[in-house]
């Protein structure tokens, strides 16, 4: 909430403690850190502190007794109308109840900042590179990519708002074995189109889209690849299929409101010779050795649990070679922190990559990996099983078609990144109270409708603004709760940055909507009293601002009407 208030109060508390010490009523050596925090339950007042409990042992007094002494001193202090009452409760908490003014200040700040409310300088301009999705261009984006896209993009938006410079990157794995298998898969289907008998290997891409791509080529190029050399043909098909699939991926992302600043091509990167240079550097530093025809990285001294192969005995690079070079490159590009979002199946890869990066002379601490747990799709309590190999999976496109972008994004974000997510399609499709997205959007639409009614009936077109706040002479319980909630916005965003997880914001917005609905059913905004009406319009406008800004960070629309 209002940090200034908390800081002021802790200053006052400190003085009170010293005063008690001077008067000989208590004794202590060092002042333990004073914490003043918003309460979670209004019956404990608005803000509370644990000093009495923290200092009890030193002062050699029971906490409630020390609390009582402090309250006595505090009652004599002047708070300039900020604090209404102070009392000691429970095991020794000192609870403050605030007067009207601090709450009006919170609203003033929101109305003043408008679309900028929520911005902070937490990041101090630190440069962050966040890499996510990075799906191989060998098939459509799936449910799992959808969650990554939602988390990565929303986290980037939140961090930007919190004063970080954020750059979003997609690592395009457009070379290597996978691409060649893709090319071969399409090539086989192509031959099949001309009635040629083929056997389609199990580890090739099974999905229907492979056949679709083959048909496209038949249409455009007719049978010319039947005559061509297989190697040339496969090369063409790899490139063609990869490019076409990538087009679809970009379209999917764009429709999901996820825009990358940069698509980083592995093929182009390898072509620069940087990967080789890194391998040479490792050799030169003596971090490699040859064994059984392969080149190994001595990664164990850097915290890995075994050494890793960089170049296979076949002469091909393993995945780690270009990946280590890529991460070294990212760290050298001048970012303070480099964040990756990976699936849980890659978590074992973290020590390996960090070791490689460290061997290349970069500080592995600057590399942060978010392991995003999987999402399982449910329909009416029934788990939908997926198998990429069999070509049975649900695509992000299907999700968007079925539930829409707003619901999709919100659902992907409504669990911690650490937690497995059950995505209930049936619930997501419901346009009812059970669906949290509608619950929040409904609050926003309701407020819009209040303004519409007000404009219509009063004929006024004046902006409701700061000057209306003075009309709020007194505050009802529900109004205080609502304002208190609104004031927590920045802190919630800071929490998201700290834990690298947009989840807390989804929960917060739900609570803002709840506080609003509670207020709404208890009190009327537009009433007989001009003054009350003006004041409450200012209040709900502030609610609208927070909902809109918050939803925007999640990539969810804030509709005027539903």
Interface residue with RNA, options 122, 193, 294, 466 (CB under 7 A): 294
Put residue 420 in one of left, alpha, beta given phi > 0 → left and psi -120 to 50 → alpha.
beta
Interacting positions 532-561 with RNA (CB under 7 A): 561
Residue of 59, 99, 65, 103 lying closest to 79 (CA atoms): 99
Interface residue with RNA, options 331, 396, 501, 512 (CB under 7 A): 501
In angstroms, what is the minimal distance from the CB of 9 to RNA?
13
Put residue 129 in one of left, alpha, beta given phi > 0 → left and psi -120 to 50 → alpha.
beta
In angstroms, what is the minimal distance from the CB of 195 to RNA?
33
- The continuous run of DSSP H or E covering 150 comes out as helix 143-161
3-class secondary-structure state, position 6? helix
Q: Which of the stretches 36-44, 97-105, 117-125, 219-227 binds RNA when contact is defined by CB under 7 A?
A: 36-44
Q: How far is CA 126 from CA 160, 165, 337, 358, in A?
A: 10, 6, 8, 22
CA 283 to chain CA mean position, Å: 39
Q: Is 268 in the site for RNA (CB under 7 A)?
A: no
Q: Which of the stretches 32-40, 149-157, 205-213, 215-223 binds RNA when contact is defined by CB under 7 A?
A: 32-40
Q: Which of the stretches 155-163, 250-258, 419-427, 461-469 binds RNA when contact is defined by CB under 7 A?
A: 419-427
Distance CA 516, CA 532 (A): 17
DSSP 462-522: PPP-GGGGGG--S--HHHHHHHHHHTTHHHHHHHHHHHT-SHHHHHHHHHHHHHHHHHHHH
Q: Which of the stretches 220-228, 238-246, 329-337, 500-508 binds RNA when contact is defined by CB under 7 A?
A: 500-508
**Closest to RNA by CB, 15 or 312:** 312
In angstroms, what is the minimal distance from the CB of 174 to RNA?
10
Q: Is 201 in the site for RNA (CB under 7 A)?
A: no
In angstroms, what is the minimal distance from the CB of 189 to RNA?
22
The answer to whether 156 touches 500, Cβ cutoff 8 Å, is no
Distance CA 326, CA 305 (A): 22
The answer to whether 297 touches 359, Cβ cutoff 8 Å, is yes
Q: Is 293 in the site for RNA (CB under 7 A)?
A: yes
**Closest to RNA by CB, 210 or 217:** 210
In angstroms, what is the minimal distance from the CB of 169 to RNA?
16
Interface residue with RNA, options 415, 484, 485, 532 (CB under 7 A): 415
**Closest to RNA by CB, 8 or 448:** 448
Interface residue with RNA, options 199, 227, 334, 433 (CB under 7 A): 433
Q: Is 495 in the site for RNA (CB under 7 A)?
A: yes
3-class secondary-structure state, position 448? helix
In angstroms, what is the minimal distance from the CB of 349 to RNA?
5
In angstroms, what is the minimal distance from the CB of 46 to RNA?
10
The answer to whether 34 touches 10, Cβ cutoff 8 Å, is yes
Interacting positions 448-477 with RNA (CB under 7 A): 448-450, 453
Interface residue with RNA, options 345, 401, 463, 531 (CB under 7 A): 345
Q: Is 263 in the site for RNA (CB under 7 A)?
A: no
**Closest to RNA by CB, 217 or 295:** 295
Q: Which of the stretches 103-111, 239-247, 315-323, 396-404 binds RNA when contact is defined by CB under 7 A?
A: 315-323
Distance CA 350, CA 358 (A): 12
Interface residue with RNA, options 247, 316, 426, 531 (CB under 7 A): 316
Q: What are phi and psi of 92, to 5 degrees?
A: 135, 15
Q: Is 10 in the site for RNA (CB under 7 A)?
A: no
Quote the tokens at residue 536: 């409450």
Q: Is 313 in the site for RNA (CB under 7 A)?
A: yes
Which residues on adjacent β-strands are paired with residue 369? 340
Interacting positions 56-95 with RNA (CB under 7 A): 56-57, 63, 89-93, 95
Put residue 170 in one of left, alpha, beta given phi > 0 → left and psi -120 to 50 → alpha.
beta
Interacting positions 128-187 with RNA (CB under 7 A): 136, 173, 176-178
Q: What are phi and psi of 2, to 5 degrees?
A: -65, 105
Give 401's contacts (C-beta < 8 A, 6+ positions apart): none
Q: Is 419 in the site for RNA (CB under 7 A)?
A: yes
In angstroms, what is the minimal distance from the CB of 423 to RNA?
9
In angstroms, what is the minimal distance from the CB of 466 to RNA?
21
In angstroms, what is the minimal distance from the CB of 192 to RNA?
25
In angstroms, what is the minimal distance from the CB of 239 to RNA?
17
Interface residue with RNA, options 221, 230, 259, 418 (CB under 7 A): 418
In angstroms, what is the minimal distance from the CB of 444 to RNA?
9
**Closest to RNA by CB, 15 or 420:** 420
In angstroms, what is the minimal distance from the CB of 481 to RNA?
10
Residues in the chain: 562
233 DSSP assignment = H
Residue of 367, 137, 342 lying closest to 253 (CA atoms): 137
Residue of 155, 162, 154 lying closest to 122 (CA atoms): 162
Interface residue with RNA, options 10, 19, 54, 218 (CB under 7 A): 54
Q: How far is CA 281 from CA 289, 317, 353, 356, 361, in A?
A: 13, 16, 16, 11, 10
Interface residue with RNA, options 25, 439, 466, 548 (CB under 7 A): 439
Interface residue with RNA, options 438, 480, 555, 556 (CB under 7 A): 438
């Amino acid at each position: 909430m209002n940090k200034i208030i908390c800081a002021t109060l802790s200053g006052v508390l400190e003085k009170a403690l010293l005063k008690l010490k001077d008067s000989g009523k208590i004794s202590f050596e060092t002042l333990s850190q004073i914490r003043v925090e918003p309460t979670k339950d209004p019956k404990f007042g608005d803000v509370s502190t644990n000093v009495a409990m923290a200092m009890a042992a030193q002062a050699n007094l029971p906490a409630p007794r020390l609390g009582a002494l402090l309250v006595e001193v505090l009652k004599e202090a002047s708070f300039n109308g900020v604090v209404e009452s102070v009392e000691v409760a429970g095991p020794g908490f000192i609870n403050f109840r605030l007067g009207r003014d601090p709450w009006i200040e919170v609203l003033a700040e929101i109305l003043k900042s408008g679309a900028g409310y929520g911005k902070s300088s937490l990041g101090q301009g630190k440069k962050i590179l966040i890499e996510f999705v990075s799906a191989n261009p060998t098939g459509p984006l799936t449910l799992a990519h959808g969650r990554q896209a939602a988390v990565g993009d929303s986290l980037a938006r939140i961090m930007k708002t919190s004063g970080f410079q954020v750059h979003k990157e997609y690592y395009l794995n457009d070379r290597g074995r996978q691409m060649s298998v893709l090319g071969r898969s399409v090539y086989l289907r192509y031959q099949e189109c001309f009635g040629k008998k083929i056997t389609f290997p199990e580890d090739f891409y099974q999905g229907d889209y492979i056949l679709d791509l083959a048909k496209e080529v038949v249409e455009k190029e007719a049978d010319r690849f039947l005559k061509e050399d297989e190697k040339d043909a496969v090369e063409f098909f790899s490139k063609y299929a990869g490019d076409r699939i990538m087009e679809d991926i970009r379209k999917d992302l764009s429709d999901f409101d996820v825009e990358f600043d940069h698509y980083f091509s592995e093929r182009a990167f390898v072509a620069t010779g940087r990967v080789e240079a890194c391998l040479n550097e490792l050799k030169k530093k003596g971090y490699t050795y040859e064994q059984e025809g392969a080149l190994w990285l001595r990664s164990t001294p850097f915290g890995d649990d075994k050494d890793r192969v960089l170049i296979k005995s076949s002469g091909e690079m393993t995945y780690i070679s270009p990946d280590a070079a890529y991460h070294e490159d990212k760290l050298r590009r001048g970012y303070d922190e480099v964040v990756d979002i990976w699936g849980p199946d890659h978590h074992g890869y973290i020590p390996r990559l960090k070791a490689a990066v460290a061997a290349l002379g970069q500080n592995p601490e600057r590399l942060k990996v978010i392991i995003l747990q999987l999402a399982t799709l449910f329909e009416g309590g029934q788990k939908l099983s997926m198998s990429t190999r069999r070509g049975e999976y649900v695509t992000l496109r299907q999700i968007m078609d079925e539930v829409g972008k707003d619901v999709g994004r919100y659902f992907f974000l409504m669990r911690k990144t650490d937690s497995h997510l059950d995505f209930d399609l049936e619930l997501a499709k419901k346009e009812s109270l059970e669906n949290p997205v509608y619950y929040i959007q409904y609050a926003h639409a309701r407020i819009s409708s209040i303004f519409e009614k007000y404009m219509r009936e009063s004929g006024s077109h004046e902006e409701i603004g700061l000057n209306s706040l003075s009309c709020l002479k007194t505050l009802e319980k529900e109004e205080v709760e609502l304002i208190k909630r609104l004031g927590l916005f920045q802190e919630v965003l800071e929490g998201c940055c700290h834990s690298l997880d947009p989840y807390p914001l989804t929960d917060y917005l739900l609570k803002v909507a709840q506080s609003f609905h509670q207020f709404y059913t208890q009190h009327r905004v537009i009433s007989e009293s001009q003054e009350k009406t003006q004041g409450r319009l200012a209040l709900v406008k502030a609610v609208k601002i927070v909902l809109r800004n918050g939803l925007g960070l999640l990539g969810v629309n804030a509709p005027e009407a539903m």
